[in-house]
Homo-oligomer: A and B are copies of this chain.
Amino acid sequence: MPATERSTRDRLLDAFETLLVTAGSRAATLDAVAAEADVSKGGLLYHFPSKDELVDAMLERLREMGAADAERMAAAKNGPVAYYLETSVNNGSDFDRALTAAARIAQENDSRAGAALADLRDGWFAVLREHLGDEALARTIQLIGDGLYFDDTTGLAEKSALKHVRAVLKRLDVL
């Protein structure tokens, strides 16, 4: 196991996420995932004996990334709110991709994915609420973040959205 390269296992999870994000869950077949990762189907099934376990592994990796993100948010230089809003718009990061992939699966009524997303959201909200000391404001900012994220993932993001949000939050003395 050389530490220098991305492992086959990770490459398979990357490929699964990429297909979910760029083409939807219908297109994320085992064959397609294997091809995207340049691995044979047999190789994929060696690492993940079923599609279900592929999903589980993806969500597990997402949870790890989410916990790390909440920590970075709490310690962010310009404060948690600015960090949260900036990271709510899609940067093309691994974390964004994992998040969007999980949302795709959640929409197929997968309770595991729904639970993972809920836990991530709870983590962010805890930081916002702790920092602001104001539940109404924390909830509202979280909704704005959700809106930014939703617009991005549905491909209809308004470029100036973040600028407008900042202007309004300044009126509320939050930024």
Q: Which residues does A use to contact B, with CB under 8 Å?
A: 22-27, 103-104, 106-109, 114, 117-118, 121, 135-137, 139-140, 142-151, 153-156, 158, 160-161, 163-165, 167-168, 171-172
Kindly provide the distance from the CB of A150 to the nearest chain B CB, expressed in whole angstroms.
Answer: 4
Give the docked Cα–Cα distance between A135 and B114 (Å). Answer: 34
A22 touches B164 (CB 8 A): no
A155 touches B106 (CB 8 A): yes
Return the chain B residue nearest A155 by Cβ. B114
A140 touches B144 (CB 8 A): yes
Question: Which B residues lie within 8 Å of A145 (CB)?
Answer: 147
Kindly provide the distance from the CB of A96 to the nearest chain B CB, expressed in whole angstroms.
Answer: 15
Question: Which B residues lie within 8 Å of A172 (CB)?
Answer: 168, 171-172
Give the docked Cα–Cα distance between A136 and B22 (Å). Answer: 30
Partner of A147 from B117, B146, B164 at Cβ < 8 Å: B146
Asked, given contacts A143-B148, A165-B139, whether A154 binds B107 with beta carbons under 8 Å apart, the answer is: yes
Kindly provide the distance from the CB of A168 to the nearest chain B CB, expressed in whole angstroms.
Answer: 4
B164 touches A117 (CB 8 A): no
23 CB < 8 A contacts A-B: A22-B109, A24-B107, A25-B26, A107-B107, A107-B153, A135-B164, A136-B165, A136-B167, A137-B164, A139-B161, A139-B164, A139-B165, A140-B165, A143-B144, A143-B147, A143-B148, A143-B151, A144-B144, A144-B147, A147-B150, A149-B150, A150-B150, A172-B172
